[in-house]
Homo-oligomer: A and B are copies of this chain.
Amino acid sequence: MPNSKRSPSDCGFPAGTLSVGEVAKRSGVAVSTLHFYETKGLIRSLRTEGNQRRYPRGVLRRVAVIKVAQRTGIPLASIQTALARLPDGRAPTADDWAELSRAWRAELDERILRLAQLRDQLDDCIGCGCLSLKTCPLRNPQDVLSGQGAGPRLLEPEAG
């Protein structure tokens, strides 16, 4: 083996390359999770002669972004798709990231809106106990998803 004394993050690779353990420590995600992300195409790595992963430091950004997106409720598969649209050769710019943020903000908005609608209706129902009555709008998901004023279409006639 011709590679003798080398630092863990820099054994023959461009300066600033990180081992999986270092990425784990600095990003706060487990090594196993990084492996997992790699199998899902969310991150990529180079390999040393000894087959160990070496990450460009940009991976820290990527992982941070993945975590943010996850917290907004976006599934990994969608995150992967979004990340795949980032420029391939160069490192992403602030604008590239901002573009992603914008898209995800929209999705987040959507989710918040839906939950707020649900809350308002739950609100209406608390006072009257109508959750147990047949006209309760909460009984019909369709109403919640597509406009609040729509005529109630019941899922269950209940008591004929």
Given A26-B157, A64-B139, are A126 and B112 also a contact pair (CB < 8 Å)? no
When all copies of this chain in the complex are counted, the total is: 2
Question: Does any Cβ of B come within 8 Å of A40's Cβ?
Answer: no
Q: Is the CB of B119 within 8 A of A112?
A: yes
Question: Does any Cβ of B come within 8 Å of A92's Cβ?
Answer: yes
Name the distance in Å between A14's Cβ and chain B's nearest Cβ. 14
Q: Is the CB of B156 within 8 A of A64?
A: yes
**Segment among A44-52, A77-85, A93-101 that sits at the interface with chain B:** A93-101
A139 contacts across to B, CB distance below 8 A: 64, 68
Question: Does any Cβ of B come within 8 Å of A125's Cβ?
Answer: yes
Question: Does any Cβ of B come within 8 Å of A35's Cβ?
Answer: no
Q: Is the CB of B98 within 8 A of A109?
A: no
Q: Is the CB of B155 within 8 A of A27?
A: yes
A92-B158 Cα distance, complex, nearest whole Å: 16
- Size class of A's contact patch? 35 or more
Question: Does any Cβ of B come within 8 Å of A1's Cβ?
Answer: no
Question: Does any Cβ of B come within 8 Å of A76's Cβ?
Answer: no
Query: What are 16 A-to-B residue pairs whose CB atoms are below 8 Å?
Result: A26-B157, A26-B158, A27-B155, A60-B156, A64-B136, A71-B144, A72-B119, A93-B132, A94-B129, A97-B132, A98-B127, A98-B131, A101-B126, A108-B118, A112-B115, A112-B116
For the complex with contacts A68-B131, A72-B119, A94-B129, 14 further pairs of A-B residues with Cβ separation under 8 Å are A26-B155, A60-B156, A68-B122, A92-B132, A93-B129, A94-B131, A98-B127, A98-B131, A101-B131, A102-B126, A105-B122, A105-B123, A112-B115, A112-B116
